[in-house]
């Protein structure tokens, strides 16, 4: 019997638990440990701040969904990992023995690196945790009654810069809706050497598009900036030149501010020798396992990533939900491979991909591979991205909430039901037409000659266009086929479906508008 312990119940931890449990034998065990009893879809936290989401929309108790899959859940903080003896020590003094350990702890904000940045001090706000986003939302509601200068920024070394841009655009959109945008200036403060650097260092079309988007919305940007101190009503900044030398110091007054800190590993991880780097992030090899402790794996933002490029002010390497899910899949497959003494799968190269909501529109970013040299680096802009991000939020939350067995369809054949519906429609004098406006890539599917005649004859009999009945029957047959797939295969199919949609959607809709959904 194999026991796998996963530390963390977030965007990396829960999907990892699902994927690993699906592939284990009936006598193997999976235990999830977290200091929080809920799952939070963190990318939607900025929407909480704007009042566009409620807490219950993106955060919910996770125990029922883990328990339904036979996954044990322990609500305790991590005290220490005793990797030499394969044991985890929890905050209440209890212990867990493991055969394999997955670290999906996320990271801790390094507020102490900038005096006055900790939101607990009341100077600026944060949206890292949902409780902080709720507090920021309450403060924002008071702010809009008497607007003033807004500063949205990131500290030196910050690795996740997308939410900073997104928050600036969301604030702009919300203030315009309220009719008070002219009473509130917005300044974006970033350690990046230029707009849309994102820690990747490729100066491409992304830079021009985001610069234009900021200019159109009258959002002032300041680059190569190190935030040195935050006091009530003032943010103290140091500007650096391309050579890394200090140019000037300035003080920026503000009435409302949201800041993204740099990250470091949670304290419990650094207590284990040779597990983490200097910032407490878990060091891994290309298989996402720790080199010293090969039965310890990691996924998510707790993984130590190298900086891709040197910048005058430090900028961390990026992460996204997309890349984290790729890591989760690699970890799950490699643990099962290790159990079976099979070859492991490399996690390289990685893709960096994320969606940024710009209010009514949005921007989709892609860098592939994530680790240079990249052969793709682009941005797509338009309303479709805004809609796609909404759809992705719902897709991910529904995936977490999906109970085992709910993938199963009714025993009645979908093909039979479809034919009966078409027969009734014909008897009522109706016709079935081919659907148009789809964004999916059209497939040319050859069929045997007899099947071709059968299909055309059926279409004629039911008074249905040939293309329409072929598409309808294929859709029904796919639903029937899914009934015969196990949970592991269904999970793999859903992941492949998501990847296909993400890959094809931008290319099919390069314009301003998108009238579909999903990502």
The predicted-structure confidence for 13-23, as pLDDT tens digits, reads as follows 999 999 999 88
Q: How high is the pLDDT of residue 507?
A: 39
CA distance 172 to 123: 21
Give the span between the Cα atoms of 135 and 122, in whole angstroms. Answer: 10
CB 490 within 8 A of CB 407: yes
What is the reported pLDDT for 442? Answer: 65
Joined together, the tokens standing for residue 27 give 């006598």
Among the ranges 226-235, 366-375, 431-440, 459-468, which has the highest mean pLDDT value? 226-235
Q: Please give the C-alpha separations between residue 436 and each of 142, 439, 467, 473, in angstroms, as whole numbers.
A: 47, 9, 11, 17
Which residues lie closer than 8 Å to 261 by C-beta, 6 or more apart? 109, 110, 111, 113, 114, 117, 126, 128, 154, 155, 158
The DSSP 8-state label assigned to residue 303 in this structure reads B
| Dist. CA 77–CA 9, nearest whole Å | 11
Q: Which residues pair with 115 in a beta bridge?
A: 229
> pLDDT class for 498, splitting at 50, 70, 90?
low
Helical (H) or strand (E) element with 66: helix 63-67
Strand pairing class (263-264; 108-109): antiparallel
Tell me the per-residue pLDDT of 452-491, one tens digit each, with 9 for 90 and over: 888 888 888 888 888 888 888 888 888 777 766 766 777 7
Pairing label, strands 3-7, 100-103:
parallel
Pairing of strands 3-7, 29-34: parallel
According to the model, what pLDDT value does residue 187 have?
A: 98
Six-digit token string for 441: 């890539």
**What is the spatial distance between Cα 122 and Cα 118, in angstroms, rounded to a whole number?**
8
Residue 154 to residue 187: CA distance in whole angstroms: 12
């Amino acid at each position: 019997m194999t026991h796998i312990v996963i530390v963390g119940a977030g965007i990396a931890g829960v999907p990892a638990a699902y994927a690993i449990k699906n592939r284990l034998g009936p006598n193997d065990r999976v235990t999830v440990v977290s200091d929080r009893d809920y799952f939070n879809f963190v990318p939607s936290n900025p929407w909480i701040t704007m009042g566009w989401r409620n807490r219950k929309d993106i955060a919910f108790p996770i125990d029922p969904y883990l328990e339904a899959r036979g996954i044990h859940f322990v609500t305790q903080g991590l005290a220490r990992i005793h990797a030499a003896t394969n044991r985890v020590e929890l905050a209440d003094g209890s212990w867990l023995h493991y055969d394999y350990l997955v670290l999906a702890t996320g990271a801790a904000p390094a507020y102490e690196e900038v005096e006055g940045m900790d939101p607990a001090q009341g100077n600026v706000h944060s949206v890292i945790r949902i409780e902080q986003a709720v507090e920021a939302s309450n403060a924002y509601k008071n702010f809009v009654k008497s607007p003033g200068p807004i500063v949205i920024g990131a500290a030196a070394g910050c690795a996740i810069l997308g939410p900073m841009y997104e928050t600036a655009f969301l604030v702009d959109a919300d203030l315009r809706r309220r009719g008070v945008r002219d009473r509130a200036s917005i300044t974006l403060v970033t350690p990046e050497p230029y707009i849309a650097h994102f820690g990747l260092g490729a100066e491409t079309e992304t830079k021009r598009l985001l610069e234009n988007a900021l200019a159109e919305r009258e959002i002032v940007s300041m680059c190569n900036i190190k935030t040195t101190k935050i006091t009530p009503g003032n943010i103290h900044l140091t500007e650096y030149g391309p050579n890394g030398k200090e140019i000037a110091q300035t003080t920026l007054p503000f009435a409302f501010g949201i800041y993204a800190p740099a990250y470091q590993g949670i304290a419990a991880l650094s207590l284990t020798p040779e597990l983490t780097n200097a910032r407490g992030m878990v060091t891994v090899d290309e298989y996402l396992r720790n080199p010293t402790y090969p039965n310890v794996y990691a996924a998510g933002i707790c993984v130590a990533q190298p900086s891709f490029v040197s910048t005058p002010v430090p900028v961390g390497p990026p992460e996204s939900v997309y890349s984290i899910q790729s890591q989760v899949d690699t970890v799950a497959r490699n643990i099962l491979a290790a159990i079976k003494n099979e070859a492991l799968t490399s996690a390289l190269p990685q893709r960096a991909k994320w969606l940024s909501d710009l209010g009514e529109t949005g921007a989709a970013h892609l860098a592939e591979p994530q680790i240079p040299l990249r052969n793709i680096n682009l941005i797509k802009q338009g309303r479709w991205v805004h809609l796609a991000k909404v759809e992705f939020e719902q897709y991910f939350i529904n995936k977490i909430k999906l109970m085992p067995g709910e993938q199963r369809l009714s025993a009645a054949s979908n093909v039979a039901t479809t034919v009966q519906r078409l027969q009734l429609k014909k008897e009522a004098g109706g016709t079935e037409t081919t659907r148009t406006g789809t964004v999916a890539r059209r497939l040319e599917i050859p069929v045997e000659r007899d099947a071709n005649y059968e299909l055309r004859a059926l279409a004629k009999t039911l008074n249905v266009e040939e293309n329409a009945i072929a598409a309808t029957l294929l859709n029904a047959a796919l639903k029937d086929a899914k009934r015969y797939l196990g949970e592991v295969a269904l999970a793999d199919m859903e992941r492949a479906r998501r990847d296909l949609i993400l890959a094809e959607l931008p290319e099919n809709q390069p314009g301003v508008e998108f009238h579909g959904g999903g990502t």
